[in-house]
Amino acid sequence: MRPHVDNPAGLYYRQAMRRTHSLLAHALVLAALMLAAAGCSEKITRQSKLTDTEIFARGNKLVSEKSYGSAADHFQVLLEKYPASPIASRAQIALADARMERGDAIEAESAFDDFLRLYPTDDNVAHALYRKGELLSRDAADPGRDQIKTVEAIRVFGLFLQKEGSGPRATQAHERIRSLRARLAEHELLVVRHYLKRKLPESASLRAQRAVADFPDTPATPVLMSLQAKALEKAGKQAEASATRDTLAKRFPGFKGDN
């Protein structure tokens, strides 16, 4: 059985509705987190004699103990109480990391975005980009659904590679990008198959052609080319279909079929 793919005729409407529902759910989650954090922050704030470095040290100790929620509360209080502190940037990235480790994806992404906006020249920018890319790639949907997170993760990993072009994290970023691009190609493949099922060969051939140009090096590429040829044939464009099959045979000589 092939994976489900949204009907392109209603794709944009349903995606808009999902985003609206998602935003409402996110708002409720944020409100609940803010109420919970407010109580913890108040307790920390009562200890008025604590300096910024002392709060930061306590937060790091909690991180080492894997008490990420309490650690995040400490970093948040530091930023609120000492916004001009020399260690504010370190507290901001520590806050984002703690939220991510706790599993608070929405709050973590927001904290990474704040760091990148407030400290664009900081030494930890590459770290923030890498971690945000990881966060987005975790939340990327399956190929049959909206791919906004996938596209954004690729963009963020690309920005990371501009900052850190070599080393273990760069290697990992390249691997993530390859995997995410393969997911996008699979999404396009599902859409092309849907168009063919709906007897829309012109739409199928154009979508496949664009996908092959955008993703020339993924496992789905030869399948897309095969379906493009099939769609062209169904549209009565025999010469173009034959040319596409010839190109497919040259580029992927071992390809056996699109099933």
Per-residue 3-state assignment (H helix, E strand, C coil) for the chain = CCCCCCCHHHHHHHHHHHHHHHHHHHHHHHHHHHHHHHHHHHHHHHCCCCCHHHHHHHHHHHHHCCCHHHHHHHHHHHHHHCCCCCCHHHHHHHHHHHHHHHCCHHHHHHHHHHHHHHCCCCCCHHHHHHHHHHHHHHHCCCCCCCCHHHHHHHHHHHHHHHHCCCCHHHHHHHHHHHHHHHHHHHHHHHHHHHHHHCCCHHHHHHHHHHHHHHCCCCCCHHHHHHHHHHHHHHCCCHHHHHHHHHHHHHHCCCCCCCC
CB atoms within 10 A of CB 45: 13
Give 148's pLDDT tier (boundaries 50, 70, 90): very high
pLDDT on residue 49: 83
Residue 34 reports pLDDT greater than 70: no
Residue 80 reports pLDDT greater than 70: yes
pLDDT on residue 28: 54
Q: What is the mean pLDDT of residues 104-111?
A: 96
pLDDT on residue 4: 46
Residue boundaries of the structural domains of the chain = 49-102
Q: Which residue has the tokens 């709906």?
A: 198
pLDDT > 70 in the chain, percent: 81
Give 95's pLDDT tier (boundaries 50, 70, 90): very high
Residue 16 reports pLDDT greater than 90: no
CA dist., res. 179 & res. 176, Å (int): 5
Give the pTM.
Answer: 0.79
pLDDT on residue 13: 45
CA dist., res. 195 & res. 243, Å (int): 21
| Tokens read off for 43 | 């307790």
Give 163's pLDDT tier (boundaries 50, 70, 90): very high
pLDDT on residue 256: 83
pLDDT on residue 38: 47
Residue 18 reports pLDDT greater than 70: no
Residue 41 reports pLDDT greater than 60: no
Give 254's pLDDT tier (boundaries 50, 70, 90): confident
Who wins on pLDDT, 114 or 39? 114
Residue 70 reports pLDDT greater than 90: yes
pLDDT on residue 224: 97
| Single-letter amino acid code for the residue at 5 | V
Residue 109 reports pLDDT greater than 70: yes
CA dist., res. 186 & res. 178, Å (int): 12
